[in-house]
C-alpha cells in the first residue's frame, strides 16, 4: 500500500516554484540549493529563453536542454548548465542540430550520451532518433532496423539498463496511444545493431495517454497522470491521476495500490526520483495550472505517517494555481439581481402567461414567478435554451448542406467562414460543459445574422 502525502513548507528551504506545466525537473548530483546562474548565449542572453515542452537530461554535474516552445515558436537551441559553477552555455558550433520541435522525449545513456526521440515540429509528428555525445557535443541521427514506432509526441522515453523504452503519446493524425516499444543497440560495448521491438506485456495496461511521466526506481517503473480523450470524435481530454507500475521482474503492468485520495488529475507535470523518494510537482488539468507538491510513499515510511496522523484535504489553495485561475474558479464576477428588477425575467414571464407583466403589479408578479419556477422545474434537457441554440446551429449547418445540394464549392466556402466552429460533432446538450455556453452563444450570435429570417429558429421564442 502506498500513500500520497502533500508536501509542506518544512520539507524545503527557499521559495517554492510558481505553478507551471510543461516544465522539466532532473536531479543533478546531491545539490539542494540552486543559486542565481550566470552564462552566455549567442545573442548575449545569460541562459535559455523561457520555454515549455523541451527536453532536459542530466549527465554528472551537467544538465543539457534542447528545443521546446516559446509562445507559438518552436525552438532548436541547445544549452548546457554546469552545476559546479552554475553557469549556462549555449552550444552552437558542434555539427548540425536536430530540427526545432516540442513534446519530444529524451534520456541519458550511461554517463556519456543522451538519446532523443520524436516530437512535433508544428507541421508533422516526428519519429527521428538522435544521439548526443556529451563529450564531443555532437548530435548524430541514428539509423534503426526493424519496424519503427509510429511518429509521436507527448510520449515518454526511459532508459532501463541497455534498452530505451518508449510509451504512449499522440500519434500522426491525432490518436492517443498506449503502445510500448523497446530500442536496443544503444550501448557501443554491446556491438548490437540498433533495433526497435514492440512489447506487449500482460497485466493492467495503462489507458492511452500523453503528457504523462514514467520514472525509474529499482526494479520497477512508475507511471503517473497524463491525458487521453473521451473517444475518437470527442474534443474533451480526460486527465488521469492513476499510478501504474511496470514490474521489470515479472514483466507486467500492475496498478499501484493507493490508500488515500491521490493528487488532482493532471498532465505535463514532473515526477522526479530524489534519493529513495519521488517528488510530484505542477501540471495542468485543462483549466488549472498546479503548483502543489506531493510525495508518493509506501506504507510504513515516516512520511506516510504524516498522512495517517493528519490526512490533508485534496483541495487546491491559493498557492496551487495562478492568480487568474483562482479568481475565475472561486471569485466569479457575477451581479445577482432581485427577481423584481430583472427585465428579461418579466419578458419571459409575459410570453408564458400571455399577459403583460411588470414589476409594479405585485400579485401578477408573484404569479409569474411561480409559473416560471414551475416551468424550469419541469423543463426537460432537450427543451432548455442551450440545447435549443445547439440544435439551431446544427440545423443551420444542415440547412446549408441541403440548400447547396451537390455544390461542394459553396459548402467549402461556407465552412471556411466558420473555421473556428467547434460544435459539429455534438448531438445534444448533455455533451456541453459549463464553459462551453459562452462560446455557444457567441457562435449563435455570429452565424444567425447570416441566415435568412425564414431559417430554422424554432424553439427560441
* Tally of CA atoms within 13 A in the half-sphere of 350 that contains its CB: 11
Residues 405-461: pLDDT tens digits?
333 343 334 334 433 445 544 545 555 566 666 766 776 666 655 544 444 333 333
Higher model confidence: residue 354 or residue 414?
Answer: 354
Higher model confidence: residue 23 or residue 378?
Answer: 23
At a CB cut-off of 8 Å and minimum separation 6, what does 64 contact? 56, 57, 58, 78, 79, 80, 114, 132, 134
Question: In terms of C-beta density within 10 A (0-12 exposed, 13-18 middle, 19 or more buried), how is residue 279 classed?
Answer: buried
Q: How does residue 200 score in pLDDT terms, banded at 50, 70 and 90?
A: very high
- Comparing CA positions, the residue from 436, 455, 453 lying closest to residue 393 is 455
Phi-psi region of 351 (alpha: psi -120 to 50; beta: other; left: phi over 0): alpha
Output the pLDDT for position 79. Answer: 95
Starting at the edge strand found earlier in the chain, the sheet holding 252-255 runs: 213-217, 220-224, 243-247, 252-255
Mean pLDDT, to the nearest integer, of 110-137?
94
Mean pLDDT, to the nearest integer, of 51-80?
94
Per-residue pLDDT for 331 more than 70? no
Q: pTM, whole model, 2 decimals?
A: 0.67
Output the pLDDT for position 181. Answer: 96
Q: Which residues of 155-164 are buried (b: 16+ CB within 10 A; e: fewer)?
A: bbbbbeebbb
Mean pLDDT, to the nearest integer, of 162-170?
95
Q: What count of other Cβ atoms lies within 10 Å of the Cβ of residue 21?
A: 21
Higher model confidence: residue 284 or residue 192?
Answer: 284
At a CB cut-off of 8 Å and minimum separation 6, what does 326 contact? 318
Which class does domain 2-329 fall in? Answer: mainly beta
Mean pLDDT, to the nearest integer, of 343-370?
63
Per-residue pLDDT for 338 more than 90? no
Domains in the chain: boundaries: 2-329, 339-450
Output the pLDDT for position 124. Answer: 93
- Comparing CA positions, the residue from 93, 55, 88, 89 lying closest to residue 74 is 55
Q: How does residue 8 score in pLDDT terms, banded at 50, 70 and 90?
A: confident
Higher model confidence: residue 318 or residue 293?
Answer: 293
At a CB cut-off of 8 Å and minimum separation 6, what does 219 contact? 247, 248, 249
- Find out whether 22 and 269 touch, Cβ atoms under 8 Å: no
Per-residue pLDDT for 239 more than 60? yes
Cell of 123: 507541421
Output the furthest CA–CA distance in the chain (Å, rounded). 93
- % of the chain exceeding 90 in pLDDT: 44
Output the pLDDT for position 113. Answer: 94
Question: In terms of C-beta density within 10 A (0-12 exposed, 13-18 middle, 19 or more buried), how is residue 203 classed?
Answer: middle
Output the pLDDT for position 95. Answer: 75
Output the pLDDT for position 322. Answer: 40
Per-residue pLDDT for 315 more than 90? no
- Per-residue DSSP letter, 103: S
**DSSP readout, 256-285?**
PPBSSPPPPP-BS-EEEEETTEEEEE--B-
Amino acid at each position: 500500500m502506498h500513500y500520497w502525502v502533500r508536501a509542506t513548507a518544512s520539507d524545503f528551504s527557499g521559495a517554492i516554484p510558481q505553478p507551471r506545466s510543461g516544465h522539466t525537473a532532473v536531479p543533478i548530483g546531491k545539490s539542494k540549493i540552486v543559486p542565481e546562474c550566470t552564462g552566455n548565449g549567442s545573442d548575449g542572453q545569460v541562459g535559455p529563453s523561457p520555454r515549455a515542452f523541451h527536453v532536459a537530461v542530466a549527465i554528472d554535474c551537467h544538465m543539457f536542454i534542447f528545443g521546446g516552445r516559446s509562445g507559438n515558436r518552436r525552438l532548436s537551441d541547445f544549452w548546457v548548465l554546469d552545476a559546479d559553477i552554475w553557469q549556462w552555455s549555449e552550444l552552437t558550433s558542434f555539427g548540425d542540430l536536430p530540427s526545432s520541435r516540442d513534446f519530444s522525449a529524451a534520456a541519458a545513456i550511461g554517463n556519456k550520451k543522451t538519446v532523443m526521440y520524436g516530437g512535433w515540429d508544428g507541421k508533422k509528428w516526428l519519429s527521428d532518433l538522435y544521439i548526443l555525445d556529451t563529450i564531443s557535443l555532437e548530435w548524430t541521427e541514428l539509423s534503426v532496423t526493424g519496424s519503427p514506432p509510429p511518429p509521436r509526441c507527448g510520449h515518454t522515453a526511459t532508459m532501463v539498463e541497455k534498452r530505451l523504452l518508449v510509451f504512449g503519446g499522440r500519434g500522426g493524425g491525432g490518436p492517443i496511444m498506449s503502445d510500448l516499444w523497446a530500442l536496443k543497440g544503444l550501448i557501443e560495448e554491446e556491438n548490437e545493431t540498433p533495433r526497435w521491438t514492440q512489447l506487449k506485456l500482460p497485466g493492467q495496461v495503462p489507458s492511452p495517454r500523453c503528457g504523462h511521466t514514467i520514472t525509474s526506481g529499482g526494479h520497477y517503473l512508475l507511471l503517473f497522470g497524463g491525458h487521453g480523450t473521451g473517444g475518437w470524435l470527442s474534443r474533451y481530454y480526460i486527465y488521469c491521476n492513476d499510478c501504474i507500475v511496470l514490474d521489470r521482474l515479472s514483466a507486467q503492468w500492475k496498478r499501484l495500490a493507493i490508500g488515500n485520495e491521490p493528487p488532482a488529475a493532471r498532465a505535463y507535470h514532473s515526477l522526479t526520483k530524489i534519493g529513495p523518494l519521488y517528488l510530484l510537482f505542477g501540471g495542468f488539468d485543462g483549466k488549472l495550472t498546479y503548483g502543489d507538491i506531493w510525495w508518493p510513499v509506501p506504507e510504513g515510511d515516516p512520511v506516510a505517517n504524516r498522512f495517517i496522523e493528519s490526512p490533508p484535504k485534496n483541495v487546491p489553495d491559493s498557492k496551487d494555481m495562478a492568480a487568474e485561475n483562482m479568481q475565475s474558479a472561486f471569485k466569479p464576477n457575477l451581479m445577482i439581481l432581485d427577481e423584481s428588477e430583472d427585465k428579461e425575467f418579466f419578458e419571459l414571464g409575459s410570453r408564458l402567461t400571455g399577459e403583460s407583466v411588470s414589476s409594479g403589479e405585485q400579485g401578477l408578479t408573484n404569479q409569474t414567478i411561480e409559473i416560471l419556477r414551475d416551468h424550469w422545474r419541469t423543463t426537460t434537457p432537450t427543451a432548455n435554451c442551450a440545447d435549443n441554440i445547439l440544435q439551431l446551429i446544427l440545423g443551420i449547418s444542415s440547412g446549408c448542406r441541403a440548400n447547396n445540394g451537390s455544390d461542394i464549392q459553396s459548402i467549402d466556402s461556407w465552412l471556411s467562414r466558420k473555421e473556428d466552429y467547434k460544435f459539429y460533432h455534438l448531438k445534444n446538450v448533455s455533451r456541453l460543459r459549463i464553459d462551453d455556453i459562452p462560446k455557444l452563444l457567441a457562435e449563435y450570435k455570429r452565424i444567425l445574422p447570416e441566415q435568412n429570417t425564414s431559417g430554422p429558429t424554432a424553439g427560441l421564442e
